[in-house]
Each structure stands twice: as C-alpha cells, then as structure tokens.
Structure 1
C-alpha cells in the first residue's frame, strides 16, 4: 500500500504484514475510529468546510460549525488537531468527518476554570444579543453568557462596533455540565478595574485627547481610551449658545484638559475651552470702544443679529444699529448665517460678558452731507421699498429713502398706489424737497410725466357731460373722480342730493376748469343741477358764489387750486 505524503524510514521495504501493521499503528495511519484524535494537515478550504489530510485511506472534512475559526482563514499546510466524529466506509463514499472544537474544548475548559480562580481576564467576541444580555464566543469554541447588568460599557457602542471588537472579560461563574457548560462573564467588573487604574494615573489639569462618541444637548461624550469622559456644553468653547450637533460629529478628534475626576463613580469631565485663555479677561484691551473688526453672522433674531469674532466672543447688533433711518425690516432679507460683516464696538459689559456692535456706524451716517450729493429738482433712480395707502417709500441709496405722496404719483386720479407700483420696482423720480434735520426727502414721479391738465384746459368745454364717483365728503363739498378723464374734481355742497355717500356714481356737467402750472393750480368743478333751481327736499339757499374752504380738499390738485380761488376772490372783493 502506498502511503500518501510519507516514505518508509531509511527507504526500507516492509516485507511482512506484521511490520506494516506496526508501522501504521505507530504513525496513526489506517482506518479512522470515532472519538479518535488525529493530527491533520489542511489541503484546501472553502466557505463552509476545510479538507484535511489525516494520514488515512481517505481525506477528512471539518465543517464550519466544527472549526474554531472561519473556514476561509485556514491555509494549505496549516496543522489542526481534530477528533473524528463520523466515518463512512468506502461502500458509502469513504469520507471521514472531524471536529476541531471537540479537541479544543476540554483543554479550554481547564484554562477557563484556572482563569476564574486566578481572576485572570479571558478574551472573547460578542456574537449576538440574547434575552437578558449577550452571547460571547471564547476562542471560537465555547459560548458564554454576558448579562446586560454586567455590560454597561457596551451602551454607547453601535452594533457593528460591538461585533467587530474583541473584549477582555472576567469569569464570574463557571459550571461544567453534561448538557452544556454554564459560563457567565462580566465586562463591567474588568472595565471598572481598568478605569480605576486609569483615573489614578490621571491628574486634573492634564491634557488629554479623544474621539467623539456621542453628542447630546448637554455635552459631548468622548472616548479617551480606557473610559468615556464628558465634555460639558459649557466647556466646549468660550462661545455661548452653541449648536453642538452642527459643529461636531462622531469620530471627530478632540484635544482637551481634565477638569475633574471621580474614581469611585468612575467619571471624568474634560474641557476644550480651557486650552486657551478666557477672551473676556482682556476684552477691553483687545476691543476698545470704536474699534472696527471683522465678524461672522451667527444667528438672526427678530431684534437684531448675533455675530461672533475669531476668538469666540459673541455679541449683538441691534436692529437700530444696523440701518440708518427705518430699521424695522426683515433682517433675513439682508443677512444669512455665516455671512462676513464688519462691525464697530459700541458697548462692553465685562462682568456680564456682553458686547454690542454697530454695522451702520462702520460706513457713517448717509444723511451727513446729503445736500451736497442730492439737489432739489434733480432726477434720480430709485426702487420701491414700501407701498402705503397715501404714497410710496422709494429707496435712493443705502440708508437714504424718500417719500412720494399719492398726489405726486400721477396726473391722473390714483385710488391705490399699489395699482401703479410694485415692491422693488425701479422708478425715476424728481426731488422736490430735502430736509436733513428730519432725515426726510420728498419726491415726485408725476412731474416727469406729461401733464394731462394742459390738454384738458384746452379741449374740454364748460358744460361737457361727465360721469363721476364720490371719493370723499367734506363740510363744503365732495371730492370726486371724473371718470371720463380719470382726474380728480370737486362737487360743491350746494349740489349735494339726499343720501349722498362715498362710492356713489352720477352724471354731471363741467362747471369750471382752472389750469395754472406756475401756481400749481389744476382744478375741475362739476355740477349736477342748475344752481338757480329749487333743491328737492331742501330749503332754498342763498346762491352767492360758493365759497370753497381749505378743508374741502386733499393734497392733490383740487385743494391747491381752490386755495387759489379763495385768494382771487379776496382780491376781487
């Protein structure tokens, strides 16, 4: 018989069956027997089993569940001690099945018992979570139980980190049983001892480095090696009101200094801000009042914006210190977080750690020297900032805006400024008044348009029928819209009818047109009936020329024209 992988000693031939039998017995060669231990050499490995040479008539197979490692980790030539667990003769295919675990377990049980008695740690891998704790595999051969009450050190670990890491355990209970061994482990007792030793060697004030494990609203948990330390939110930076989850992420490296330790409760607190000096200690020297510095927008509030400086100082820029003039604006239309801004230091309260800044003071008051940059009658480019019921606010430059009254928007009748203009619309306007003291500028849009009253005064005749609408009623008459020409007119009180009210429409005739652009007079008076006729349901009145009072008119054409009439009447008298 040829012996695979072996040569006869000294090349001698075995001539007798007796000698052959003795040789096979001495080399453990021959038909395998169940329960027999064999020295095997790995021939090949797969994902589910390993093929070995066991010096027998057939090759052996060790299945995945009978190996102490993953099958793919075995290499050809590796030596394995294994126990035969099944043999099938040639009539059944000639296969031998072995178990490496059955060889390892008896020796391992002895080692574990000794380790428990001598309180030595054993190494193992957590395989899965089970009821009440975890299943732990020791040297790939034995399963032990880790109670959840003894595994608090795993609370902050992810499942993947837990399964891929080898841990040291302490055996707290060991029982050999026929129906299975009872091995109970503890992770906390061993970790606790290591943590105590670690804390004993750490000094308050000592620098330490670690890795971010978890981030909460109250601080950051940092893995510093033998334990997890807490970095309180208040100790992260000299900045206040930080969003830790935006600034830090698990896995980030952190440098810090130990600020407290508690060996009994196995706790330690660290600080990263104390690696640098408190910037508030020398705040007045670093940022004297009036200093202009670069800052970054930290957050936007209804009352202003919070900005931070390069050394962790955070301060407030109030809305009133952002814009010149009207500061009641939506700040989010002008600023965004992390935007760079230049600010001027205006106030410092070192005791309360508060500092205030101004943005508007950096560039100076835009109304200073306003009359040197802008002049009455000048035509300028503007943008609609706000639309009001009585006019529009037009932006001229940063911090400078003007007001165009409804009477200065068009030569036609304007009921609502919003019918003519939209926000952010570009508009050309003419300056009609500048008041640096009150920081106001009056503008006109209509004076850049063709004056329709010039044509009306030439082409519209007295007595022309028109359609009108009551806009407003005063003591001496009513302001009306003359629909035919879309201009404002006046209906004297003597022409009122019973139940007259705003919104009424009626037919009338033009009684008078006045146009004198030099005196800014533009007026149209309408009548409903013959002034010499009886007024229905009303006592006959004295039909002297109707005296027009100033309160009868708005700021548009009729009011100014009527005042002119009053002056002329006085001259005639």
Structure 2
C-alpha cells in the first residue's frame, strides 16, 4: 500500500467510534465513524458495504492502516470538477448558505465548496438570494484553482444555453417538463429550460380554482404544453389541463335533464350558487330555483361555500359548458297543494313575518308567505302602515282571497273576517238624512267628520256656511260635535258628502215642513 492511493475496501464491522475496513492488505484499515455521518448525524454506512478510501499511512501503532473515506470522496469530486471545467460540462451542487456577494454551494455533498456569484444565479437579477438555500442546481465551473481550493460557478451560463435550445424547440402543442418558479393570484410561472412561461390559472384545471396553490407549489416538477409563444419577445403561454381528459366531452352521458345530482358549493354570487358535480364540471343554481318561497333574496341565506347539496338538472348547453340546476325541484311543490287545502274564502292562521309600505307578509309555512295588502286590513279605518294594525310575530287569522300557484302568490285579507261597516251604513242611510258627527281633521277644501266608528264624511267649505269661509278652522274646531245632513252618497267610492248649512236650514228630505218639501239636493239655500 502506498500513501495517497485510493483503493476499494469492504466494511467488516463498526464500533462506537470507528469503522473497520478490509482493503486486501495484511491488516485492516480504520476510519473514524464521524466521516460517515450526514448533516443530521445519521451514519450512512453498514457492514458489508464497499467504499472508496484514501490510504493516509501504511500503519499505526496498533498495526492498522489509517484510511479516510471523506478525503477519497473529495479527491474524486475534485477530479470530476477538473474534468467538467476542461470539457465545459455542468456539475450539480446544493446551496448551503447565503454569503457576501452570492451563494456558497456544496458540490458532491462532501464538503467541496464553490462560490456562486449573485450575478450568475439567474438570467435576471435575483432579489432574494436566501430563497435558494437548500436548492440543488445545475452549474458550470467558470474558474478553478485547485491549489487554493477556489471554485467559481455559474448557473446563468447553463440557463442561457438551455434557453437557446428551448427557443429552437418551441412548437405549439409540444410538451415540456418544467419547474414551478413562482405563484401569483392569476397563475404560475414555469421554467421550461431557461424560459419562464406563464401558466394561467384558467389553463391549470377544468375545475374552478381560487388560487394556483390549490394545485401546485413552488419547486414542483410538472409537464406543460405550449399554447402560444413569441420567440422574439420570449413570451410563452402554457397549459396544464390540456394534458388531461376534458370531462365535458362525456358530460352529456351523465347530466341529462331531470337527473338528480350531488355536488359541492364552490362559489356564491348575488344571483346564485355554483355547484361542482365532479372536477371540472359545475352547474349553477339560480336564486330563483333555490326555494318554492319567494322570500329568498340572496343565495347565502340558504347555502354556504363547502356545503354538499342534491339538485336536479333543469337545462343543459354542453357546447357552452353550462348546466342549470334546481334545488327546490328535489322537494314537492307546495303551491298546488295549498290551493286544494285552502279554497278561496277559507280561513287560515299564520305568523306576521315582516312589513312593507304596501302590506304585511304572513308566514303560512316554512316555504310559503301570503300578503295582506294594506287595503285589506280594515273596512273602515284609514291605515297608513300595517304596523298600525299588526305586530311582527303575531299569529293572525286571515281569509284566503286568491291563490296564484304559477306565480307563487297568496293574497290574504284581515278585514274580510268581519262585516263591511260601509255596506251597513249605505243600507241604513240615504241622501237627506240627518246624522251626528264629530270634526276629526281639516283639509284645504273643508273638514272630515266621523259619523260612525270607521265611517267618515266630507264637509266642504261651501257646505259649512254662506258665504263659504276661507278655511274650515275659521268656523269649526277639532272635536266639535255637529248635526249634519247627508247631501251626497257614493257607494262605489265609499264617500259621504255632508252639509252643515242644509242641516241648520231645516231640510230633512222626509217632508218635515211644507216650506222645504220641494227642495232638491244641490239647490242654493238661504235663510
């Protein structure tokens, strides 16, 4: 054995501190166990392994050869580096640290370190060199001094050569293998050999993606297809989903009209919810198809993102890649049943759910609301807002006025529970009758007088006095009791015209005196 030789030996056995190696010499060699530990402290050798070793001394005091595995590996790596430098072939190295001016790279993972200047890391300036720590790179040796142990590396040279080859090989439809270099909200940049092409999020998957990170991460090795390119501008558009089968090509076999499907809510908008029935195939449940009730104003009131729902296929347009779904169609339509259960004129009880300016909505059941229009709240009371008669949450009995199952409209009435006070009034009175009344409010043209509960009449200015006052307040006051004569009746309009003058001048309309028996409504009266 000659000191400095590199020979192959076999591991015979191992102690807590040493590895005993048979190299075919009259005595075994010994190597410190620490030479076989990796960065995590794990021993990377076992008994029976064949390893290359460097003979350091022929023997020691115990008669063993003194060997080194690490130095043998370093000499081999240095030989490879020298060969790569001479032939201008690439070497692989792992970035171990960020140092001043660039990166420190371990070549061969045994402690042979090279320097990668920051300007040689990429084709474009790199802002965060620390992000390269731990990455394995393909590099070119551009300077070498073995005696000083100096190695200068370049990745940029390798990328420039790769880019030249890639540009020459670009072709629409060709598949390249690349590395994901960066992710953005709109896509991913993939290095396909010195050129970073854009893989837009729309070209990643047939299914909806909120962010590219749902499908890939920086550093992933993926295959992509060339969709478009501009070699002169070095711009490349890539596709990923095109390498998989488009589920829409066979969707017509699975989603016929009337088919029940199950899917996941992947997106909610103001007008509906998108349901993923399988990766790449989505359908829309419009807000109008979510419930038989008309009260659903926003899809989020019924569905949440991530919910699983059962729906029915309503319409399909495979060419446009659109499927319309219905949620309510998987449940029986309650409206036809409602018309059978509650005929016109029947009574039902519901809960006051909310008010509007034009009426009150009554909840009949969980999917049906009926409307009591403001005009159907009272026969004889002037109602300006439903809250004057009802309270939200009250249970009220109502009368069914009309049902429109097709348009899902139910009209209810509250006043129809009792007799019409106006009809009774018109039955009991005629023009010329004397009635008692109380002034309840004034208007520019006269005064309104309450004759009976809920029955009002109008006393115009020219029916108050002769000549007429400029305003009713000059002659009357609120709460004043009056004896009045009915001078006009309009059954259709539910209006009563009153006259104070006619009452004071003694006309009754029933022949109370011969003096006025021939007087007709509308005659000018004088004292």
> What band does the TM-score fall into relative to the shorter chain?
0.5 to 0.7
Aligned to 2:348: 379
Aligned to 2:363: 395
In structure 2, relative to structure 1, the CA distance for the partners of 1:312 and 1:492 (3 Å cut) is same
Q: Which runs of 5+ in 1 are unaligned?
A: 1-43, 45-68, 82-103, 453-461, 509-527, 532-542, 560-568
1:150 and 1:189 in contact (8 A); partners too:
no
In structure 2, relative to structure 1, the CA distance for the partners of 1:214 and 1:469 (3 Å cut) is farther
Aligned to 2:65: none
Aligned to 2:459: 493
CA distance in 2, matches of 1:392, 1:124: 77
* CA offset digits 1:289-332 (Å, max 9, x no partner): 23232233332223333333225222333344344474772332
* CA offset digits 1:88-132 (Å, max 9, x no partner): xxxxxxxxxxxxxxxx99999998656422335456554555676
Aligned 1:225-236 pairs, distance under 5 A: 231-236=199-204
Aligned 1:281-320 pairs, distance under 5 A: 281-320=249-288
**Offset of 1:362 from its aligned partner?**
3.6
CA distance in 1, matches of 2:444, 2:294: 34
Aligned to 1:459: none
**Offset of 1:426 from its aligned partner?**
5.5
CA distance in 2, matches of 1:249, 1:346: 35
In structure 2, relative to structure 1, the CA distance for the partners of 1:489 and 1:289 (3 Å cut) is same
1:220 and 1:233 in contact (8 A); partners too:
yes
Aligned to 2:115: 144
Correspondence for 1:244 among 201, 211, 215: 211
In structure 2, relative to structure 1, the CA distance for the partners of 1:490 and 1:182 (3 Å cut) is same
**Offset of 1:392 from its aligned partner?**
0.7
1:156 and 1:213 in contact (8 A); partners too:
no
Aligned 1:494-573 pairs, distance under 5 A: 494=460, 498-499=470-471, 507-508=478-479, 528=480, 530-531=482-483, 544-550=485-491
Aligned to 1:406: 374
Q: Bigger CA drift: 229-238 or 335-344?
A: 229-238
The number of equivalent residue pairs is 422
Aligned to 1:173: 143
Aligned 1:206-285 pairs, distance under 5 A: 214-220=182-188, 231-239=199-207, 242-245=209-212, 247-248=214-215, 250=217, 269=238, 271-272=240-241, 274-276=243-245, 278-285=246-253
In structure 2, relative to structure 1, the CA distance for the partners of 1:79 and 1:419 (3 Å cut) is farther
In structure 2, relative to structure 1, the CA distance for the partners of 1:394 and 1:275 (3 Å cut) is same
1:479 and 1:553 in contact (8 A); partners too:
no
Normalised TM-score (structure 1)? 0.53
CA distance in 1, matches of 2:326, 2:86: 73
Aligned 1:29-44 pairs, distance under 5 A: none
Is 1:416 the equivalent of 2:385? Answer: yes
Aligned to 1:564: none
In structure 2, relative to structure 1, the CA distance for the partners of 1:220 and 1:108 (3 Å cut) is closer
In structure 2, relative to structure 1, the CA distance for the partners of 1:378 and 1:395 (3 Å cut) is same
2:437 and 2:450 in contact (8 A); partners too:
no
CA distance in 1, matches of 2:319, 2:448: 65
SS of the aligned residue for 1:189 comes to helix
* CA offset digits 1:326-350 (Å, max 9, x no partner): 4772332222223333333232223
CA distance in 2, matches of 1:219, 1:182: 41
Aligned to 2:323: 355
2:275 and 2:282 in contact (8 A); partners too:
yes
Q: Which runs of 5+ in 2 are unaligned?
A: 1-16, 18-37, 44-52, 57-72, 422-433, 498-507, 512-519, 521-527
1:207 and 1:255 in contact (8 A); partners too:
no
Normalised TM-score (structure 2)? 0.57
CA distance in 2, matches of 1:114, 1:209: 29
1:307 and 1:316 in contact (8 A); partners too:
yes
CA distance in 2, matches of 1:529, 1:235: 84
SS of the aligned residue for 1:546 comes to strand
2:371 and 2:410 in contact (8 A); partners too:
yes
**Offset of 1:186 from its aligned partner?**
0.7
* CA offset digits 1:132-158 (Å, max 9, x no partner): 644546665766242434435996998
CA distance in 2, matches of 1:405, 1:266: 65
**Offset of 1:397 from its aligned partner?**
3.1
**Offset of 1:441 from its aligned partner?**
2.8
In structure 2, relative to structure 1, the CA distance for the partners of 1:407 and 1:350 (3 Å cut) is closer
In structure 2, relative to structure 1, the CA distance for the partners of 1:313 and 1:156 (3 Å cut) is farther
CA distance in 1, matches of 2:122, 2:292: 63
Aligned to 1:428: 396
RMSD over aligned Cα atoms: 6.1
SS of the aligned residue for 1:289 comes to coil
CA distance in 2, matches of 1:570, 1:440: 49
CA distance in 2, matches of 1:307, 1:570: 77
1:477 and 1:552 in contact (8 A); partners too:
no
**Offset of 1:209 from its aligned partner?**
9.5
CA distance in 2, matches of 1:336, 1:226: 44
SS of the aligned residue for 1:394 comes to strand
Q: Bigger CA drift: 370-379 or 406-415?
A: 406-415
SS of the aligned residue for 2:305 comes to coil
